[in-house]
């Protein structure tokens, strides 16, 4: 077998492992994000503020792991942590099944803590290739795997909820989550690890304008995405009187256009990231306005299909921006700080959005978040002008 063929086979193997682990982790993680609010509301009678706080606990412990632990340890230790966390993460689905109104809080914390060790290392593994075009295609494939899991996961759960309860659905997703510990020993980690020092400190990472653009770009969509994940199922049930099965199925419709957006980026890595950043914000604003005026569930579906497009673009563009603007030795630190910062913001957002919904309403929440998105986009544009790599020819 020639060296070129061996290399191609190795690349395919790495891609398959990343795809399957990403699918198992993200499909099950998204299930927690969308179903835990329904579990808390229907079984434990939580109000919107309490549901937001529960999501904050989940995201907050994810931030603790990814920011304070994963960024401070070397490659060999991170690999061991990854394997152990994947086992603990799978077990938490069994704990959700037997949880009550008190137990659900520590279970949410444990689940968030364990998943915090998984996602940043998946990004780093996907971005280990030296060749820029191959690296960006692999990152897009990783991102496409996220969309695939978000597309198929809710569809699977929708079928499950036709025959089983919300609590029982966690048992089925424990099976999907188990893919992660099974394949985790085969995930590729950096062979040589940069010694942690001043170069990989948070201060120096944040100083990079590419990091600022990646962070702010992702934030322009994280706000509406947090709203959609936390409250769209409840919105569909409350306003349009949808069943649990239909409410969950709507997430699959949202992720259909997200999937095709990421498929486009995987098929052809784009040189002009800046154009797609601008387009994503425009579509986000349009989608939120359509959701706000929706007179029935069919118009609401159109809104979700529009909103899925920027969801497909934004995250992929952010991690590609990081790969373009950071040396390979600093990418794990950049990826971890990026993910942990997103986790911190994600921890704060649900409780803030829960209060917002209680003060206004589910419907008005769609337009109440628009000023935040526009303000963040302004700063994204300001820093993007200083990053030449956003329009790099590849």
Q: Report the alpha-carbon distance of residue 127 to residue 269 in Å, rounded.
A: 14
363: confidence class by pLDDT, cuts 50, 70, 90: confident
pLDDT digits 0-9 by tens, 46-80: 987 888 889 889 988 998 898 888 878 888 899 99
pLDDT (0 to 100) of residue 2 = 66
pLDDT digits 0-9 by tens, 266-314: 887 777 888 899 999 999 999 999 999 999 999 999 999 999 999 889 9
Q: Report the alpha-carbon distance of residue 91 to residue 98 in Å, rounded.
A: 12
Q: Are 139 and 270 in contact (CB under 8 A)?
A: no
Q: What are phi and psi of 99, to 5 degrees?
A: -75, 160
> What's the CATH number for 3-391?
1.20.1250.20
pLDDT (0 to 100) of residue 393 = 45
The CA-atom distances, in angstroms, between 375 and each of 253, 339, 380 are 28, 21, 9
pTM, full prediction: 0.78
3-state secondary structure of 190: coil
146 contact partners, CB below 8 Å, separation of at least 6: 22, 26, 262, 315
Higher pLDDT, 32 or 158: 32
pLDDT digits 0-9 by tens, 245-268: 888 788 878 888 888 988 888 887
Count of residues making up the chain: 394
Where do the domains of the chain lie?
A: 3-391
355: confidence class by pLDDT, cuts 50, 70, 90: confident
21: confidence class by pLDDT, cuts 50, 70, 90: very high
The structure tokens listed for 16 are: 């398959």
32 contact partners, CB below 8 Å, separation of at least 6: 58, 96, 108, 111
* Residue 183 burial class via C-beta count within 10 angstroms: exposed 0-12, middle 13-18, buried 19 and up: middle
* C-alpha of 394 from chain center: 26
Ranked by mean pLDDT, the top range of 49-53, 131-135, 159-163, 233-237 is: 159-163
pLDDT digits 0-9 by tens, 192-235: 555 455 466 777 888 899 999 999 999 998 888 888 877 888 88
3-state secondary structure of 261: helix
With a cut of 50, say whether residue 106 has pLDDT above it: yes
The structure tokens listed for 141 are: 């494939």
């Amino acid at each position: 077998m020639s060296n070129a063929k061996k290399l191609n086979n190795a690349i395919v193997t790495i891609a398959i492992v990343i795809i399957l682990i990403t699918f198992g982790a993200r499909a099950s993680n998204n299930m927690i994000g969308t179903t835990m609010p329904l579990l808390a509301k229907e079984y434990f009678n939580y109000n919107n503020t309490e549901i937001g706080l529960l999501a904050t606990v989940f995201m907050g412990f994810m931030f603790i792991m990814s920011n304070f632990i994963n960024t401070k340890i070397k490659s060999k230790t991170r690999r061991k942590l990854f394997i152990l966390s994947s086992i603990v993460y799978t077990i938490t689905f069994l704990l959700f099944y037997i949880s009550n109104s008190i137990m659900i809080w520590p279970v949410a914390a444990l689940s968030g803590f364990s998943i915090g060790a998984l996602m940043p290392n998946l990004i780093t593994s996907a971005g280990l290739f030296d060749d820029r075009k191959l690296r960006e295609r692999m990152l897009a494939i990783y991102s496409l795997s996220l969309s695939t899991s978000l597309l198929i996961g809710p569809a699977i759960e929708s079928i499950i909820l036709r025959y089983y309860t919300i609590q029982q659905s966690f048992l089925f997703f424990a099976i999907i989550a188990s893919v992660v510990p099974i394949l985790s020993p085969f995930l590729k980690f950096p062979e040589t690890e940069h010694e942690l020092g001043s170069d990989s400190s948070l201060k120096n990472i944040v100083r990079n304008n590419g990091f600022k653009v990646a962070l702010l770009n992702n934030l322009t969509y994280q706000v509406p995405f947090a709203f959609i994940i936390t409250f769209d199922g409840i919105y569909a049930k409350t306003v349009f009187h949808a069943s649990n099965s239909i409410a969950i199925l709507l997430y699959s419709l949202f992720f259909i256009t997200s999937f095709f957006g990421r498929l486009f980026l995987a098929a052809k890595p784009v040189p002009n990231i800046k154009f797609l950043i601008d387009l994503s914000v425009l579509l986000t604003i349009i989608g939120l306005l359509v959701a706000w005026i929706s007179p029935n569930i069919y118009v609401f579906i159109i809104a979700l299909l529009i909103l899925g497009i920027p969801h497909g673009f934004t995250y992929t563009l952010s991690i590609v921006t990081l790969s373009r603007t950071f040396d390979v030795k600093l990418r794990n630190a950049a990826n971890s700080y990026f993910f942990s910062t997103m986790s911190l913001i994600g921890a704060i957002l649900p409780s803030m959005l829960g209060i917002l919904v209680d003060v206004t309403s589910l419907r008005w929440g769609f337009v109440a978040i628009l000023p935040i998105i526009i303000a963040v986009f302004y700063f994204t544009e300001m820093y993007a002008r200083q990053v030449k790599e956003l329009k790099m020819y590849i």
